[in-house]
Amino acid sequence: MWTEIRKIPRFEAWSAGEPSAKLFLKNLSSKVTEVDLRFIFNRYSKTPTGEDVQVNLMTKGKMHGQAFVTLPDRDTATRALDQVLGYVLHDRPIIMVRVLSLPFFQSLLLIL
C-alpha cells in the first residue's frame, strides 16, 4: 500500500516514520467522525471497551481533517498502520505516519 500512496503527487515523499504507539492521520474527509475512527481503531485495543485507544479528531482550524490516534503499544500501532494505511473512508484514503514521543525530543535536548 505504501507504494500506492506515494503515487499520489502530494504524498510522493511520504514515510511511515520511526516506531511509535501514536499515529497521525491526515487527508480525512470533513464527514469523518470520532465514531468512525473508533470503529476502525478499537479493533486494535487490548481491552473489550477500547479504553486503551485514544482518538483526537481535529475538526476546526488548520488541523481540520487530521487526527491523532494512540494505541496500546508500538507493535500494535505498526500493525494498525500496515492494515489501515490507504483505507478509503468517506471517499478519501487515510494517510498515516508515526508520531515521535516527547521523551525522544527530551533526550535530544540532553545531548545538545
**How do residues 42-85 score in pLDDT, each as one tens digit?**
999 998 888 899 999 998 888 889 999 999 999 999 999 989 99
Domain boundaries, the chain: 2-6+17-111
**How do residues 12-46 score in pLDDT, each as one tens digit?**
666 667 788 999 999 999 999 999 999 999 999 99
Task: Given CATH 3.30.450.90, say whether it is the number of domain 2-6+17-111.
Answer: no
CA atoms of 98 and 11, how far apart (whole Å): 15
Q: How confident is the model at residue 100 (pLDDT cuts 50, 70, 90)?
A: confident
All three cell numbers of 39: 470503529
List the one residue out of 10, 67, 63, 59 whose CA is nearest residue 30: 59
What is the pTM assigned to this prediction? 0.79
CB count, 10 Å around CB of 40? 20
Q: Which DSSP string corresponds to 10-34?
A: GGTT----S--SEEEEES--TT--H
List the one residue out of 26, 25, 54, 23 whose CA is nearest residue 38: 54
